[in-house]
A and B are shown apart, each in its own frame.
Chain A
């Protein structure tokens, strides 16, 4: 690995200096007009750009700075992360949206259930920008994930995998995949699933892109035909994959929204200051009141995320159990409410698709695109309805 320039990291104990260095670094690093360039770019070019951005963040140690030291990160304090995200938002800098699995699901999984060898094997690669994807859902196993049917049959020092996965984000660019497959077909459905690391260059993998309602093709169908996975790629015990998947999924539910929520906060504050908005729809009682509700929801989101991070800081990673569930559902609902409002108040412009404006994960001018993209949050990673089941059953204690 190339050496990290620690100038910015080493200034975290002086918040003003840290902020100034971050701001200066962004100024020097983020290319002007990147949104316009990226909007017109092919998916390959977008991936190349994301890798470049990940690399730039890595050079100053910031790509994985939020990881705990156990995960090989810097255990960057919450206040410092807030400053960093605020500056990214202020500058309209790109976000690491393709690297969600790499940055959150992978380390959460490996440190919950991986062996020391597995951590050593994959973490440095992830820090260097190896892209990971997720192979959980299947055509017949969405919300009822435990009914998945992709099979993994032990054959000597390997498992032979057959089946079909779906919603595999950026599978065409990924180096590895966290795969759930059935190893115990005779066991009860939750007790016959194992988790594997699948190398995406293995023979027998076929990917077909799925076009989404936004026009993008982030997702893929993945067909697996007699794919060999070496035994050492099994994570945790055989047939223990369900529990591992649950804990890693629930842990990252809140974490991946941290940067989003900081960017959202910045966006909402700017909107409130925006003269065109004040001269038009913010003067309308109903629209302004809806906006103030969303603004307040966003404030609650920030408070819940801070609280979760504090719990994790105090009691170890993934200590917070209930907050990630609240955060996921609350964020999805609020994003959709906001998206619908912004489409409506922007009139005809709100109806237009603007291929010339790339999104950075929070709303920003491409109103209909952002609204449509909000269903990604209400469905993926446990739909709103699954989140409500979890709250009702695991938190409120209602019977199944």
Chain B
């Protein structure tokens, strides 16, 4: 990892988002129910190469790792940017190691150019209601999978399922006979859907099973947890900065409310939580990249998500009445923080997974 490269990437992303994801624009997007993601910002992201970032150089990418992706996601989190980056990155990650070359070749360039959006289901096969049965070179898939991130805007879906050979992971073309229903989640900056299929036929090379599927699932879940932690650290930091600015200028009882110790101390605790969860996140990304300690993504996820939900909730309270209005950004952070907390396993689940890995010695030295 090149520290200067990561800093330059951050700067670049921040500058673009300052311009293209500023509050008025974001609020116009939120209010327009027909808009499922910010297509203009997505195009910019593709043009600037953000979507090709994780891909190997042979696919026109930069071969960037989790550290760079987390930095980018953190900046997206600062702005609650409504783009399907997380799901697309995870699908690209699966494709890069997909054992069938034809599938890889067909999709990777489209993902890198932003022409295809990826959708991703829960990365735990036990949580999928989809089942596949094999008939010669085809699988037949039936059932329902919830939640699937960005299914309504995606061209390619990565879904976990059960097969006769144990856990499975399928890549499904969105143009096939899928029934996709977006759900009315409070966080409008992300799309969450149910996906149903009835006897859907899938070529065998689009499905992997057994330990191959289980280990890819686990690997991608770790990536998802780290990226959500990054999004949360960014969101928490942005909420704190917004709140501090307000507390410096809002005058009550003849002085800025930022002078009141009862409020100051809450901000200090949020600041400390952000500082500690950011460091856990950074370490988790390094451990993930080097294939080290496997408890870290879970530790990063619960630390950052708990920090974000607490900060975002208090962010509304510290803004008082104005924080309760739809035109303010405070609720965007809260809603995104709550969805981050839920996606890919909430804090209780992360604590249990971390505990299991630490106690089974999977945490390395």
User: Contact residues of A with B, CB < 8 Å?
Assistant: 272, 278, 282, 285, 288-289, 291-293, 295-297, 299-300, 303-304, 307, 326, 329-330, 385, 387-389, 391-393, 395-400
Tell me if B259 and A391 are in contact (CB < 8 A). no
Partner of B351, one of A292, A300, A304, A398: A292
Interface CB pairs A-B, < 8 A, 8:
A288-B355, A289-B352, A299-B283, A303-B279, A389-B268, A395-B271, A398-B247, A398-B267
Partner of B256, one of A387, A389, A392, A399: A399
Complex formed: what's the CA distance from A326 to B280 in Å? Answer: 14
Which residues in A have their C-beta under 8 angstroms from that of B352?
A: 285, 288-289
Tell me the B248-272 residues at the A interface (CB within 8 Å). 248, 255-256, 258-259, 261, 264-265, 267-269, 271-272
Q: A292-B299, A296-B354, A398-B247 are in contact. List 10 more A-B contacts (CB 8 A).
A: A288-B355, A289-B355, A292-B358, A295-B358, A300-B277, A389-B264, A391-B271, A392-B265, A395-B271, A396-B240
Tell me if B299 and A296 are in contact (CB < 8 A). yes
Which residues in A have their C-beta under 8 angstroms from that of B355?
A: 282, 288-289, 291-292
Which residues in A have their C-beta under 8 angstroms from that of B40?
A: none
Q: Which of chain B's residues has its CB closest to A304's CB?
A: B279
Which residues in B have their C-beta under 8 angstroms from that of A388?
A: 264-265, 268-269
Complex formed: what's the CA distance from A39 to B210 in Å? Answer: 57
Q: How far is the CB of B245 from chain A (nearest CB, A)?
A: 10
Complex formed: what's the CA distance from A106 to B302 in Å? Answer: 41
Tell me if B272 and A326 are in contact (CB < 8 A). yes
Q: Which of chain A's residues has its CB closest to B244's CB?
A: A396
Complex formed: what's the CA distance from A387 to B277 in Å? Answer: 19
Complex formed: what's the CA distance from A398 to B267 in Å? Answer: 9
Complex formed: what's the CA distance from A391 to B267 in Å? Answer: 9
Tell me if A292 and B264 are in contact (CB < 8 A). no
Q: How far is the CB of B116 from chain A (nearest CB, A)?
A: 37
Given A297-B276, A300-B279, A385-B265, A399 and B258 touching (CB < 8 A)? yes
Given A272-B358, A293-B351, A396 and B267 touching (CB < 8 A)? yes
Partner of A304, one of B264, B265, B275, B359: B275
Which residues in A have their C-beta under 8 angstroms from that of B261?
A: 389
Cβ of B5 under 8 Å from chain A: no
Q: How far is the CB of A144 from chain B (nearest CB, A)?
A: 13
Q: Which of chain A's residues has its CB closest to B348's CB?
A: A289
Cβ of B91 under 8 Å from chain A: no
Cβ of B214 under 8 Å from chain A: no
Which residues in A have their C-beta under 8 angstroms from that of B303?
A: 296, 300
Tell me if B264 and A392 are in contact (CB < 8 A). yes
Partner of B280, one of A289, A300, A307: A300
Q: How far is the CB of A264 from chain B (nearest CB, A)?
A: 15
Complex formed: what's the CA distance from A295 to B358 in Å? Answer: 10
Q: How far is the CB of B299 from chain A (nearest CB, A)?
A: 5
Q: How far is the CB of A79 from chain B (nearest CB, A)?
A: 14
Complex formed: what's the CA distance from A282 to B264 in Å? Answer: 36
Which residues in A have their C-beta under 8 angstroms from that of B276?
A: 297, 300, 304, 326, 330
Q: Which of chain B's residues has its CB closest to A398's CB?
A: B258
Which residues in B have their C-beta under 8 angstroms from that of A393?
A: 264
**Cβ proximity bits B219-261 to A, threshold 8 Å, 1 near / 0 not:** 0000000000000000000001000100110000001101101
Which residues in B have their C-beta under 8 angstroms from that of A392?
A: 264-265, 267-268, 271
**Cβ proximity bits B322-365 to A, threshold 8 Å, 1 near / 0 not:** 00000000000000000000000000100110110011000000
Q: How far is the CB of B293 from chain A (nearest CB, A)?
A: 10
Tell me if B283 and A398 are in contact (CB < 8 A). no
Which residues in A have their C-beta under 8 angstroms from that of B269?
A: 388
Complex formed: what's the CA distance from A388 to B261 in Å? Answer: 9
Tell me if B299 and A398 are in contact (CB < 8 A). no
Partner of B244, one of A293, A295, A329, A397: A397
Tell me if A303 and B283 are in contact (CB < 8 A). yes
Q: How far is the CB of A283 from chain B (nearest CB, A)?
A: 10
Partner of B359, one of A282, A285, A303, A398: A282
Q: How far is the CB of B230 from chain A (nearest CB, A)?
A: 16
Tell me the B129-175 residues at the A interface (CB within 8 Å). none
Q: How far is the CB of B141 from chain A (nearest CB, A)?
A: 35
Most chain B beta-carbon neighbours within 10 Å: one of A272, A387, A388: A388
Q: How far is the CB of B345 from chain A (nearest CB, A)?
A: 13
Partner of A396, one of B259, B271, B299: B271
Partner of A397, one of B248, B302, B359: B248
Tell me if A299 and B358 are in contact (CB < 8 A). no
Tell me if B259 and A399 are in contact (CB < 8 A). yes
Tell me if A329 and B264 are in contact (CB < 8 A). no
Q: Which of chain B's residues has its CB closest to A301's CB?
A: B276
Tell me if B256 and A330 are in contact (CB < 8 A). no
Most chain B beta-carbon neighbours within 10 Å: one of A282, A295, A300, A393: A300
Complex formed: what's the CA distance from A395 to B355 in Å? Answer: 34
Which residues in A have their C-beta under 8 angstroms from that of B265?
A: 385, 388-389, 392
Which residues in B have their C-beta under 8 angstroms from that of A291?
A: 355
Complex formed: what's the CA distance from A361 to B265 in Å? Answer: 28
